[in-house]
């Protein structure tokens, strides 16, 4: 198929997009960074790397899904983002995207609870925003883009970005509770996040607040200040990711809806369609030819 639309003379919109992950190897950065990842159209992707390849028209490639972690994105190919280097804050709502030929995004997913001194702003201030990196990290955006664009090797990109992030970490004033896990523990939120995860998001905020010994309003304010989204939204994200992860099997949607605390199957379908654009059954069918679909966590930032 030609990459050029014969009518408009522009690149076709239905490019094939490959998603791959690169592990974090620097032990100093591991508490702050969960993974590196690449989203590339197949005309730019390294065919030797394993990964998931989907049409840019696939529902998981037409929007950035709600997610609770902050991401750092570099747009190294044909422009697909408002700026070459951006911080994507925690997202409470899906953000429509359009991926075409020439796509070359390289990203970093940060741990939940990442200190404001490292990001340059609080998670709450970054929520639902795409912020140019130059507004938060003086001078690093152009240096990073140049360093990353000089190689197509994803492992080398990760290593170069690790060096820049390590330098950022050394200059950051992040207080005595250094790591995100330490901060969440000090604030009493580590157990809260663990409970939400263990219950797959099927938990009431009032129950969390009671266990914490504070009012629901106080609990919600503290949670949102530190995580970037409120506890109800966070639980919805976890519950949604559980449904997305169920795509690897042949789920009984009514039973899954009941297990996860939806009112009924229709409630599950409505919420899923609001975020993905299609029903869970239809999305499940799109993976029939691919085998096991990407894990919910892997859908970043076309993801968690």
CATH number for the domain that contains residue 198: 1.10.10.60
- The reply to whether 145 and 216 lie within a common domain is no
- The reply to whether 162 and 188 lie within a common domain is no
> Does the residue 10 lie in any domain?
no
- The reply to whether 55 and 111 lie within a common domain is yes
- The reply to whether 191 and 126 lie within a common domain is no
pLDDT of the residue at 288: 56
Distance in angstroms (rounded) separating the CA atoms of residues 129 and 87: 8
- The reply to whether 54 and 124 lie within a common domain is yes
Percent of the chain that is helix, strand, coil (3-state, to 5): 40, 15, 45
- The reply to whether 224 and 246 lie within a common domain is yes
- The reply to whether 185 and 165 lie within a common domain is no
Distance in angstroms (rounded) separating the CA atoms of residues 236 and 221: 17
Residue at which a domain ends, from 171, 199, 220: 171
Place of tokens 């099997």: 249
> Does the residue 60 lie in any domain?
yes
Distance in angstroms (rounded) separating the CA atoms of residues 162 and 169: 10
> Does the residue 71 lie in any domain?
yes
pLDDT of the residue at 297: 43
Parent domain of 247: 180-298
* Helix (H) or strand (E) run with residue 162 in it: helix 154-171
pLDDT of the residue at 304: 42
Distance in angstroms (rounded) separating the CA atoms of residues 177 and 173: 11
- The reply to whether 25 and 144 lie within a common domain is yes
pLDDT in tens, 218-227: 999 999 999 9
- The reply to whether 129 and 215 lie within a common domain is no
pLDDT of the residue at 2: 42
pLDDT of the residue at 221: 94
pLDDT of the residue at 117: 86
- The reply to whether 93 and 240 lie within a common domain is no
> Does the residue 4 lie in any domain?
no
pLDDT of the residue at 5: 41
> Does the residue 278 lie in any domain?
yes
The whole-model pTM stands at 0.83
Residue at which a domain ends, from 140, 171, 202: 171
- How many other CB atoms are found less than 10 A from the CB of residue 218? 12
Residue at which a domain ends, from 144, 171, 198: 171
Q: Can you list the residues of the chain whose pLDDT is less than 70?
A: 1-15, 43-58, 60-61, 78, 139, 141, 173-177, 287-304
> Does the residue 161 lie in any domain?
yes
- The reply to whether 73 and 132 lie within a common domain is yes
Distance in angstroms (rounded) separating the CA atoms of residues 238 and 242: 6
> Does the residue 8 lie in any domain?
no
Give the number of domains in the chain: 2
**Cα 89 from chain centroid (whole Å):** 9
pLDDT of the residue at 266: 94
> Does the residue 281 lie in any domain?
yes
131, 86 in Cβ contact below 8 A? yes
pLDDT of the residue at 172: 78
pLDDT of the residue at 32: 94
- Written as one string, the DSSP assignment of 5-63 is -TTT-SB-S--EEEEEEE----TTTTTTEEEEEEEEETTTS-TTS--EEEETTSGGGSE
pLDDT in tens, 35-51: 999 988 876 656 555 66
pLDDT of the residue at 192: 96
- The reply to whether 192 and 132 lie within a common domain is no
């Amino acid at each position: 198929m030609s990459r050029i639309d014969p009518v408009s003379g522009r690149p076709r919109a239905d490019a094939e997009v490959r998603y791959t992950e690169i592990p974090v190897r620097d032990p100093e950065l591991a508490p702050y960074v969960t993974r590196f990842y690449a989203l590339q159209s197949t005309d730019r992707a390294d065919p030797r790397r394993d990964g998931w390849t989907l049409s840019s028209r696939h529902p998981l490639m037409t929007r950035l899904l709600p997610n609770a972690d902050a991401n750092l994105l570099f747009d190294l190919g044909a422009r697909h983002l408002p700026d070459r280097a951006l911080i994507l804050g925690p997202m409470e709502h899906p953000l429509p995207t359009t991926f075409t030929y020439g796509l070359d995004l390289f990203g970093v997913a940060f741990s939940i609870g990442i200190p404001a001194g490292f990001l340059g702003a609080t998670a709450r201030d970054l929520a639902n925003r795409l912020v140019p990196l130059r507004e938060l990290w003086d001078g690093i955006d152009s240096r990073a883009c140049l360093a990353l664009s000089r190689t197509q090797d994803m492992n080398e990109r990760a290593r170069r970005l690790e060096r820049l992030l390590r330098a950022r970490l050394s200059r950051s004033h992040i207080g005595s509770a250094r790591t995100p896990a330490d901060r969440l523990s000090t604030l009493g939120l580590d157990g809260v996040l663990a409970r939400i995860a263990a219950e797959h998001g099927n938990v009431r905020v009032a129950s969390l607040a009671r266990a914490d010994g504070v009012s629901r309003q106080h609990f919600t304010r503290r949670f949102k200040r530190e995580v970037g989204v409120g506890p109800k939204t966070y639980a919805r994200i976890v519950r949604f990711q559980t449904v997305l992860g169920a795509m690897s099997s042949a789920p009984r949607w009514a039973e899954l809806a009941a297990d996860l605390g939806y009112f009924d199957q229709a409630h599950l379908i409505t919420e899923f369609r609001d975020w993905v654009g299609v029903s869970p059954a239809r999305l499940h069918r799109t993976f029939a030819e691919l085998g096991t679909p990407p894990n919910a966590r892997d859908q970043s930032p076309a993801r968690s």
